[in-house]
């Protein structure tokens, strides 16, 4: 109720949620099938020329099996397909289908517009500074009291 000072992780999470909900609502409004967060994450880490499930898992920081599950759901929705890797017969590359590319580009455009709106509200230099701080390497967190 009272305005308690919120710590940084809370603020970061709230703002992330601000974006997530806006994207989900806008995609729904646009008549697109809802794409879950895990699936958006796959899109975000996919190479244009295709990526193996194991590599996706590494990039997303999850188990191979979890990435596999998300990829398979997207394949079932017709947004991804798995093609054999010409360089290695045991590998299969997950790639965007044309429909997947369309949905992905639409979501990316939406995020870009939200960022533009924010820049107009908060000031372009403010938003640039925000992005710069978040993009800068933060180093490893210190665990113990006396390292």
Q: Please report, as ranges, the residues that interact with a second copy according to CB under 8 A.
A: 1, 6-23, 25-26, 29, 44, 47, 61, 108, 111-115, 117-118, 121-122, 126-127, 129-131, 133-136, 138-139, 141-145
For residues 132 and 98, give the distance between their C-alpha atoms in angstroms, rounded to a whole number.
Answer: 33
DSSP string, 79-144: SEEEEE-TT-TT-EEEEE-HHHHHHHHHHHHHHHHHHHHHHHHH-HHHHHHHHHHHHS---PPP-S
- Say which entry of a second copy, DNA, none residue 120 contacts (CB below 5 to 8 A, set by partner kind): none
- Say which entry of DNA, a second copy, none residue 68 contacts (CB below 5 to 8 A, set by partner kind): DNA
- Say which entry of DNA, a second copy, none residue 112 contacts (CB below 5 to 8 A, set by partner kind): a second copy
Strand (E) positions, 5-79? Answer: 51-52
Sheet-wide strand order for 51-52: 51-52, 92-96, 80-84
- Say which entry of DNA, a second copy, none residue 97 contacts (CB below 5 to 8 A, set by partner kind): none
Q: Please report, as ranges, the residues that interact with DNA according to CB under 7 A.
A: 36-39, 41, 52-55, 60-66, 68-70, 72-73, 82, 88-92
Nearer to a second copy, 99 or 116 (CB): 116
């Amino acid at each position: 109720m009272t305005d308690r000072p919120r710590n940084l992780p809370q603020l970061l999470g709230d703002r992330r949620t601000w974006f997530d909900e806006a994207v989900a609502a806008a995609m729904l409004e646009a008549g697109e099938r809802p794409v879950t967060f895990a699936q958006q994450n796959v899109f975000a880490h996919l190479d244009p020329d295709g990526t193996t499930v194991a590599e996706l898992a590494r990039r997303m920081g999850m188990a191979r099996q979890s990435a596999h599950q998300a990829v398979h759901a997207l394949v079932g929705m017709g947004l991804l397909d798995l093609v054999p890797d010409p360089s290695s017969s045991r590998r299969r590359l997950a790639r965007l289908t044309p429909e997947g590319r369309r949905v992905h580009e639409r979501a990316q455009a939406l995020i870009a517009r939200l960022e533009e709106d924010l820049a107009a509200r908060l000031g372009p230099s403010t938003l640039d500074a925000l992005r710069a701080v978040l993009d800068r390497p933060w180093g490893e967190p210190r665990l113990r009291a006396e390292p």
